[in-house]
Amino acid sequence: MTDVEELRVLARADSPRGEVVLRRRLLTGACEVDELIVNGTFAMDSAETSTERALARTLPRPGAEVLVGGLGLGFTAAELLRLGAGRVEVVEIEGCLVSWARAGVTGTLAAVATDPRVRLTIADIADVLRTEDDRRWDAIVLDVDNGPDFLIHEANARVYSAELLAAAADRLRPGGVLAVWCQGPAPALALTLAGLGGAVREELTEVVRQGRQFTYAIYILTR
Ligand SMILES: C[S@@+](CC[C@H](N)C(=O)[O-])C[C@H]1O[C@@H](n2cnc3c(N)ncnc32)[C@H](O)[C@@H]1O
């Protein structure tokens, strides 16, 4: 593992879900890694973002309109923009993260916040998906927690419920895609998605993070 020379807090705030901290690890060899800690739990870092970016590669076509649940460090949204998404609406529960993105606290967050195709909304994605409106999306991508089996926020269990996933699927245009990131295989989630009608695909990726091996999973429903 690379030695940490310095740990710098870039921003911190308290929210109803606990403390949100964005910090930067300065590693030997002039390497920097940004990390997001929520309520004392590691949420993600910028050292290994292959699966956050893979989530964006479920984009069905350039120009597509995408609803994203969870801003995080902005890697999924940035990749959607790089791939030519026409519109990216990011729903993020922590208002401080949206403020830090607008303030340009990291380069990736700044790039996302300043792109004219992006709208950042402070809300719970579960509330957004349950609201009756006639907006339809070419893709909905959800990365708000570790997945149904290892939640950071217990309240996010409803995001992975059959009711919410069905509401999300109903917001898709024909040929649309619903993609869900999980920290490990989640067979029950795959079954729930399969019950919504359409084809379900599981993408498993072996990832090494800070010396530990993980099998991250993305579940993709195409309607
Ligand atoms: C792991 S991060 C997302 C990482 C992101 N895919 C990226 O590439 O950086 C999860 C994000 O979802 C947010 N979040 C958690 N629960 C949420 C909810 N119910 N609605 C919206 N955002 C939520 C967290 O505050 C955090 O910013």
- Over residues 30-82, the pLDDT tens digits come to 699 999 999 999 999 999 999 999 999 999 999 999 999 999 999 999 999 99
Number of structural domains (the chain) is 1
Does the C-beta of 147 come closer than 6 Å to ligand 1?
no
Does the C-beta of 20 come closer than 6 Å to ligand 1?
no
Indicate whether 211 belongs to any domain.
Answer: yes
Where b means 16+ CB within 10 Å and e means fewer, 18-45 reads eebbbbbbebeeeeebbbbbbeeeebbb
Q: Give the atom of ligand 1 at the shortest distance from the alpha carbon of 108.
A: 9
Residue 48 has a pLDDT of 93
Does the C-beta of 129 come closer than 6 Å to ligand 1?
no
Indicate whether 149 belongs to any domain.
Answer: yes
189: domain CATH number is 3.40.50.150
- Taking the centre of ligand 1 as the mean of its atom positions, its distance from the CA of residue 142, in whole angstroms, is 8
User: How does residue 1 score in pLDDT terms, banded at 50, 70 and 90?
Assistant: low
**What does the block give as tokens for 92?**
């993020």
Domain that holds residue 192: 47-222
d(CA 92, CA 12): 16
Does the C-beta of 43 come closer than 6 Å to ligand 1?
yes
